[in-house]
Chain A
Amino acid sequence: MKTIPVNLGIEFCGVKFSNPFILSAAPPTDDLDMLKRGLEMGWAGAVLKTTSVEKNKVELVYPMISGLSFENKKVVGMGNIDLISEHHIDLVEKRVEALKKEFGDERVIAASIMGAKKEDWQGLVKRLKAAGVDVIECSFSCPQGSMGEVPGAMLAQSVPATEMVTRWVKDAARKTPVVIKITPMVADIVAVANAVKKGGADAICASNTIPSLMGIDIENFIPNPNVAGKTTYSGLSGPAIKPITLKVISELSKTVGLPITGTGGAVNWIDALEFILCGATTVQFCTAVMHYGYDIIEDLCEGLAFYMEEKGISKVKNLIGKSLPYIVGHDDLSRKNRVTSNIDLKKCVRCGLCYYACQDGGHQAIELGRDRKPEVDEEKCFGCGLCQSACPIDGCIELKESEKPRKIAIV
């Protein structure tokens, strides 16, 4: 096997990262010893959990986390009703100082902030700058709402407010890069991102958790998490939201043109690579770390490096946005594409799932022959791809180009 030497290093807003993987603003970045442990293991940087000025009280409730299971899989998604850090800027600035002292330029130390008034935002920025922070990230998208005028609303749900606050922050930050963390829960995300750009930010963090109701205990009718008999809406993170994040990243990369740090649903290096292929420069992790521990960084780095070695791609930079040209509007898709389902009977286990799917959700193009052998009627098959998604065996059903025209039966 031929391989080439690769370098995982990447530059983001003029700051050098030893690899594209970062700890996002969340519990794994809300304790100095934990942060040190994570950074020592190889994370390129950390965004310290969102903090605010001392007068903004943060009162947390417990329990705050609920997992989303699907069949036998735990933590397909994770809901939280956490707030920003209980630790205020006085402590966070000390953490930044300590981490910069310990790691120097080896690791990137970013900090996430949230304020109510202009003085809050600007004060936070100045204190973090003085502490030596490398990047400032602003949470405009806490699912429990921002500290603004409208209770419960996120800052990034208002285009003018987004632009105004971004400008406040950038004015104070000057040369220090500013990243705005937005929410996908808006009608027009491009408008929000453009407001971020206009406000003068250096990059976008896309995107935060999705407001959700995590499920209900049907015995007592109380939804999760049950806080003394009541609940509220959670922020959903983890694998379940990855497709949403990919959509947001690719859409913003195509239209706005600010660098992006991706967050929302990445667990392994393939997920992270997908973020990058959609246009992200770095990728942040929270749920995966909370589930499996900091040491997944080893697999992220090895996995991506091996992939690049084998692919002959020496720099992460060359991967950014590589999939964007293949994403177009629906109108621009070919109407001439004619594919049909092909079943590899050597791999097939005769479960009949494709048959079910095609009967009740497709076009009745699959018949079960003798010995439950599935057979595709090419003339009836539309090539919709449903059977392929349903088949439990990888590579058993493939969609291949077909010469045979479809026979249209209109009943």
Chain B
Amino acid sequence: MSSKTATTLLPEERRKGFKEIHRCYEPHQAYLEASRCLMCEDAPCTQGCPAGVDIKKFIRKIRFHNLRGAIREIRKANVLAGICGRVCPQELLCQKECSNTEIDIPIDIAALQRYVADVELRRSVSPPVRQFAQKMKVAVIGSGPAGLAVAANLAQKGYEVTIFETEAKPGGLLAYGIPPHRLPPPATQKEIRYIKKMGVKIKCNTKITDIDELFKKDFKAIFISVGLPGARKIGLPGENLKGVYTALEFLKDVIENKGKTKKTRIGKRVVVIGGGDVAMDAASCALRLGAQRVDLACLEGYDEMPSSPEERRISWEEGVEIHTRVMPVRIIGSKGRVTGYKGIGIRWRKPGLFVPSNAIPIPGTEFSLKVDTVIEAIGQLPDTENVKGFKRIETAGPGYIVAKKKTFKTSRPGVFAAGDIVNRGATAVQAVADGNAAAEAIDAYLKRKSKHRVTSNQ
């Protein structure tokens, strides 16, 4: 596909700063794209959306000039329509089975979704009014997509929902992880304001360290969606040198300082270690901050990388040098600062299993890169402090919360959990989908509980 399209900025233009890569459709563009949709019966696209957005229906609504109906349809299943329209790896989800692929190219579902969401937010449409006040309080810990989805759903059902958030701004990784050229902070905050209008309270700068406290404050149910704020480290020799960062600290720095950095310093030559979307984001941010060359070294082959193909293509277009099937050996330094990266080529012991323990170094393929900055992007971990504060809740591994499938109940009655902290890291739309389901389970739990109380009081 040509890299110039009406809605995507050219790579040269993109590299200059943090302008959003994809522009929003103009009305005629949205209409044209919508009119390509075949409006399939039993549409396969919907099966591919974790949140179950009725895609054919919302596209039909665009086509039939019913934009308000279209956004209402999307928000029924995904309250973060505009955000997910920007960040969903659609080619792996809804777009994957699109029937139009058999004709030419799949429908740009995410772009259409974003279009209707943007139009709505621009026109400041109010959310539907809440059904009736239940006057029961629910606490949500963490304001990422899982927490926002639970809160929005429960607020619609009439509960009094308060979200507690450690950081100064709500949104979780939407606010502190995904860089501005993919998800501009105003787009995130606008959609969060929409959720606040539904009646959700959000208390920022408030870290919850003990959930018993919340129960004491009369919260009848608690939802944990604390995500994975910790960064995994490889444990390489030289990792403590100056100039070695984790992708999470780097990206947060970039976002907080609006495209500049304070705590991290990007030099002229950067290597990013990792092959996921986080690595791609770190690499593209490093380019935007003026690095002359950015290498990305990952364990996987090009088609084995966990990043979405679209993200990979975009980073490659912008000039990131991608080294595949290599593993780092050490970080080289001098006078306490990074001066180089040393890696080696690998092959897989068992085919199809792309993890470090399955990698066998190939002797004679050692190579080194002259770099002054190393960014590690090899995965996220639970916050160990959280693990301590969440008493009587079963966890697994380094502190992932164990919750039942479908209901998202934890081992402690009245406590539910979903999102990255349970699924060990997936996507924003998965967090929303799980949040939707959890909201249903919480509603059922509270209804049962209040009925029980009424009868026992008599």
Contacts of B61 in A (CB 8 A): 299, 302
B125 at interface, CB cutoff 8 A = yes
A48 CA to B124 CA, complexed, in Å: 43
Most central of B27, B61, B125 by chain A CB within 10 Å: B61
B39 at interface, CB cutoff 8 A = yes
Most central of B28, B39, B65, B66 by chain A CB within 10 Å: B66
> Are A270 and B27 in touch, CB under 8 angstroms?
no
Contacts of A270 in B (CB 8 A): 65
Q: Is the contact region of chain B dominated by helix, strand, or loop, or is it mixed?
A: loop
**Contact of A299 with B124 at beta-carbon distance under 8 Å, contacts A292-B39, A306-B66, A306-B69 already known:** no
Contact of A394 among B27, B64, B65 (CB under 8 A): B27
> Are B65 and A269 in touch, CB under 8 angstroms?
yes
Contacts of A1 in B (CB 8 A): 123-126
Measured CB to CB, the closest approach of chain B to A270, in angstroms, equals 5
Contacts of B124 in A (CB 8 A): 1
Contacts of A302 in B (CB 8 A): 61, 66, 68-69
Contacts of A393 in B (CB 8 A): 28
B96 at interface, CB cutoff 8 A = no
Most central of A270, A292, A303, A393 by chain B CB within 10 Å: A303
The 0/1 profile, CB within 8 Å of B marked 1, for residues 294-315 of chain A is 0010111011001000000000
**Contact of A292 with B60 at beta-carbon distance under 8 Å, contacts A1-B125, A394-B27 already known:** yes
Contacts of B28 in A (CB 8 A): 392-394
A224 CA to B68 CA, complexed, in Å: 40
Measured CB to CB, the closest approach of chain B to A1, in angstroms, equals 5
Measured CB to CB, the closest approach of chain A to B39, in angstroms, equals 7
The 0/1 profile, CB within 8 Å of A marked 1, for residues 48-66 of chain B is 0000000000001101111
Number of CB contacts from chain A to chain B under 8 A: 40
Most central of A267, A298, A392 by chain B CB within 10 Å: A298
A268 at interface, CB cutoff 8 A = yes
A394 CA to B60 CA, complexed, in Å: 20
Residues B109-155 near A (CB distance < 8 A) = 123-126
Measured CB to CB, the closest approach of chain A to B102, in angstroms, equals 15
The 0/1 profile, CB within 8 Å of B marked 1, for residues 381-397 of chain A is 00000000000111000
Measured CB to CB, the closest approach of chain B to A256, in angstroms, equals 31
> Are A298 and B69 in touch, CB under 8 angstroms?
yes
Contacts of A303 in B (CB 8 A): 64-66, 69
The 0/1 profile, CB within 8 Å of A marked 1, for residues 5-26 of chain B is 0000000000000000000001
Measured CB to CB, the closest approach of chain B to A365, in angstroms, equals 24
- For A273, give the chain B residue with the smallest CB separation: B65
Residues B255-313 near A (CB distance < 8 A) = none
Contacts of A298 in B (CB 8 A): 69
- For B60, give the chain A residue with the smallest CB separation: A299
Q: Is the contact region of chain A dominated by helix, strand, or loop, or is it mixed?
A: helix
Contacts of A268 in B (CB 8 A): 63-66
Measured CB to CB, the closest approach of chain A to B248, in angstroms, equals 39
Q: How many residues of A contact B (CB 8 A)?
A: 16
Contacts of B64 in A (CB 8 A): 267-269, 296, 299-300, 303
Measured CB to CB, the closest approach of chain A to B31, in angstroms, equals 8
Contacts of B27 in A (CB 8 A): 394
Contacts of B69 in A (CB 8 A): 298-299, 302-303, 306
A270 CA to B126 CA, complexed, in Å: 24
Contact of A299 among B26, B66, B125, B126 (CB under 8 A): B66
Measured CB to CB, the closest approach of chain B to A242, in angstroms, equals 14
A306 CA to B68 CA, complexed, in Å: 7
Measured CB to CB, the closest approach of chain B to A143, in angstroms, equals 28
- For A73, give the chain B residue with the smallest CB separation: B35
A10 CA to B123 CA, complexed, in Å: 30
A393 CA to B32 CA, complexed, in Å: 11
Contacts of A292 in B (CB 8 A): 39, 60
- For B41, give the chain A residue with the smallest CB separation: A293
Measured CB to CB, the closest approach of chain A to B202, in angstroms, equals 24
A303 CA to B66 CA, complexed, in Å: 5
Residues A356-394 near B (CB distance < 8 A) = 392-394
Contacts of A306 in B (CB 8 A): 66, 68-69
Measured CB to CB, the closest approach of chain A to B368, in angstroms, equals 48
A220 CA to B132 CA, complexed, in Å: 68
- For B63, give the chain A residue with the smallest CB separation: A268
Measured CB to CB, the closest approach of chain B to A271, in angstroms, equals 10
Contacts of A394 in B (CB 8 A): 26-28
A356 CA to B41 CA, complexed, in Å: 41
A268 CA to B61 CA, complexed, in Å: 10
Measured CB to CB, the closest approach of chain B to A390, in angstroms, equals 14
A296 CA to B63 CA, complexed, in Å: 11
Measured CB to CB, the closest approach of chain B to A289, in angstroms, equals 13
A392 CA to B29 CA, complexed, in Å: 10
- For B124, give the chain A residue with the smallest CB separation: A1
Residues A256-275 near B (CB distance < 8 A) = 267-270
A269 CA to B124 CA, complexed, in Å: 23
Most central of A299, A306, A393 by chain B CB within 10 Å: A299
- For B67, give the chain A residue with the smallest CB separation: A306
Measured CB to CB, the closest approach of chain A to B295, in angstroms, equals 38
Measured CB to CB, the closest approach of chain B to A8, in angstroms, equals 14
Measured CB to CB, the closest approach of chain B to A265, in angstroms, equals 15
A49 CA to B368 CA, complexed, in Å: 79
Measured CB to CB, the closest approach of chain B to A281, in angstroms, equals 22
A1 CA to B334 CA, complexed, in Å: 62
- For B31, give the chain A residue with the smallest CB separation: A394
The 0/1 profile, CB within 8 Å of B marked 1, for residues 175-196 of chain A is 0000000000000000000000
Measured CB to CB, the closest approach of chain A to B264, in angstroms, equals 39
A269 CA to B123 CA, complexed, in Å: 21
Measured CB to CB, the closest approach of chain A to B447, in angstroms, equals 30
Jot down 9 A-B pairs with beta carbons below 8 A, ordered by A: A1-B124, A268-B63, A268-B64, A268-B65, A270-B65, A296-B64, A302-B68, A302-B69, A394-B26
Given known contacts A269-B66, A292-B60, A302-B69, what 18 new A-B pairs fall within 8 Å (CB)?
A267-B64, A268-B66, A269-B64, A269-B65, A292-B39, A296-B64, A299-B60, A299-B61, A299-B64, A299-B69, A300-B64, A302-B61, A302-B68, A303-B65, A303-B69, A306-B66, A306-B69, A393-B28
The 10 closest A-B pairs by CB, nearest first: A302-B69, A303-B66, A268-B64, A394-B28, A299-B64, A306-B68, A299-B66, A302-B66, A1-B123, A270-B65
